[in-house]
Chains A and B, each alone.
Chain A
Amino acid sequence: MPIAKTLRYQFMKDLGAPALMRFAQTGKKRPRKKPNPHFGPPLKSAERLKEIMTRHYYLSRFAEGAKPIAWVTSGAPVELLRPFGFYTIYPENHGALCGAQKMAPELCAEAEEHGFHQDLCSYARTDLGHYFSRKTPAGKLPKPDLLFASNNICQTVVYWFKALARYLNIPLVLFDTPYNFEEITEIDISYMIRQFEEMIPVLEQASGQTFNYPKFQEIIRLARDSSLAWGEVLSTMKARPAPMTIFDAFIHLAPIVSLRGLPLTLDYYHLLLDELKERVAHGVGALKNEQKRLMWDNIAIWYKVRDYSNLFAEHDMNFVVATYTNAWAETTPYMDENRPLESMVKAYSLVILNNNLNHRLRLMERLIKEYHVDGLVIHSARSCKPYSVGQYDLKRLLMERLEVPSVVIEADITDSRAYSEEQTNTRLEAFFESME
Chain B
Amino acid sequence: MIKPEPPPRKEYLQQQKETHGRHLFGVFPAQYPREILWALNVLPVEIWDPPLEVSHANAHLQPYICSVVKQGLELILQGKCDDLDGFLFPHTCDSIQNLASIVNDYLGLDKPCYFFYHPKAPYRASSRQYYIEQLKLFVSRLEKQLGPMEPAQLQHRVSQGQKMAALIRELYNLRANRGLRASNAHFYQAIRYTEYLHPDDLIPLLEGFLADSKGESGGGRAVILSGVLPNPPELLTLLDDQGVRVADDDLLSCSRRFLMPPSQAEDPFEALTEGYFGMPPCTTKDSPVSERLDYLLQKIDRTGAKGIIFYVVKFCEPELFDIPQVVEELKKRGVVTLIIDTELHQGLSGQLKTRVEAFVEMIR
Contact = CB atoms under 8 A, between A and B. Distances in A.
B117 A357 contact: no
27 contacts: A114-B324, A119-B317, A120-B320, A158-B286, A163-B325, A165-B288, A166-B288, A166-B290, A178-B117, A181-B101, A181-B115, A187-B133, A191-B126, A195-B126, A198-B124, A358-B101, A358-B105, A385-B64, A385-B98, A386-B94, A386-B97, A389-B69, A389-B94, A389-B98, A393-B60, A397-B106, A410-B63
A55 B339 CA distance: 44
A179 B320 contact: no
Contact of A162 (B91, B94, B137, B321): B321
Interface string B76-97: 0000000000000101011101
A263 to B, nearest CB: 32
B315 interface: yes
Nearest to B97: A179
Contact of B289 (A162, A386, A388): A162
B283 interface: yes
Interface in B62-76: 62-65, 69
B322 interface: yes
Question: In the complex, which of the residues B61, B101, B327 has the most CB atoms of chain A within 10 Å of its own CB atom?
Answer: B101
A356 B317 contact: no
Contacts of A393: 60, 102, 106
Contacts of B120: 151, 155, 158, 174, 176
Contacts of B321: 116, 120, 124, 156, 159-160, 162-163
A172 interface: yes
Contacts of B106: 357, 390, 393, 397
A114 B325 CA distance: 9
Question: In the complex, which of the residues A124, A182, A190 has the most CB atoms of chain B within 10 Å of its own CB atom?
Answer: A182
A361 B104 CA distance: 13
A35 B239 CA distance: 65
Interface string A145-165: 000000100111011101101
Contacts of A179: 91, 97, 115, 117
Interface of A: 114-117, 119-121, 124, 151, 154-156, 158-160, 162-163, 165-167, 172, 174, 176, 178-179, 181-182, 185, 187-188, 190-191, 194-195, 198, 356-358, 361, 380, 382, 385-386, 388-393, 397, 410
Q: Which 9 pairs of residues, A with B, have the shortest CB-CB distance? A: A115-B324, A389-B98, A159-B321, A194-B126, A181-B115, A191-B130, A357-B101, A385-B94, A358-B105
Contacts of A357: 98, 101-102, 105-106
A155 B93 contact: yes
Question: In the complex, which of the residues A195, A385, A388 has the most CB atoms of chain B within 10 Å of its own CB atom?
Answer: A385
B278 interface: no
A420 to B, nearest CB: 12
B100 interface: yes
Contact of B98 (A162, A380, A386): A386
A385 B289 CA distance: 22
B328 A389 contact: no
Given A166-B290, A194-B129, A195-B124, A115 B97 contact: no
B101 A159 contact: no
A92 B61 CA distance: 25
A155 B318 contact: yes
Contacts of B64: 119, 382, 385
Contacts of A182: 104, 115
Nearest to B328: A115
A185 to B, nearest CB: 7
Interface of B: 59-65, 69, 89, 91, 93-95, 97-102, 104-106, 115, 117, 119-122, 124-127, 129-130, 133-134, 137, 283, 286, 288-290, 314-315, 317-318, 320-325, 327-328, 341
A156 B105 contact: no
Interface of B is mostly: helix
Contacts of B125: 194, 198
A410 B65 CA distance: 13
Given A356-B104, A356-B105, A390-B106, 8 more contacts: A116-B324, A166-B288, A174-B120, A178-B91, A194-B130, A356-B101, A357-B101, A385-B94
A120 B317 contact: yes
A119 B286 contact: no
A97 B315 CA distance: 25
A159 B286 contact: yes
Question: In the complex, which of the residues A165, A166, A361 has the most CB atoms of chain B within 10 Å of its own CB atom?
Answer: A166
Contacts of B126: 191, 194-195, 198
A2 B323 CA distance: 38
Contacts of A187: 130, 133-134, 137
A389 B134 contact: no
B62 A389 contact: yes
Contacts of B93: 155
Contacts of A191: 119, 126, 129-130, 133
A75 B101 CA distance: 21
A151 B317 CA distance: 14
A159 B97 contact: no
Contacts of B119: 176, 191
A267 to B, nearest CB: 36
B61 to A, nearest CB: 6
Contacts of A385: 64-65, 94-95, 98, 317
Nearest to A193: B126
A155 B94 contact: yes
Nearest to B323: A115
B93 to A, nearest CB: 6
Contacts of B290: 166
Contact of B104 (A156, A178, A181, A397): A181
A159 B288 contact: no
Given A162-B288, A356-B101, A356-B104, A388 B62 contact: yes
A155 B327 CA distance: 22
A124 to B, nearest CB: 8
A187 B130 CA distance: 7
A159 B102 contact: no
A174 B288 CA distance: 12
B188 to A, nearest CB: 25
B243 to A, nearest CB: 30
A255 to B, nearest CB: 27
B322 A390 contact: no
A397 B107 CA distance: 11
Contacts of B341: 117
Given A159-B317, A195-B126, A185 B137 contact: yes
Contact of B322 (A156, A159, A172, A188): A159
Nearest to A357: B101
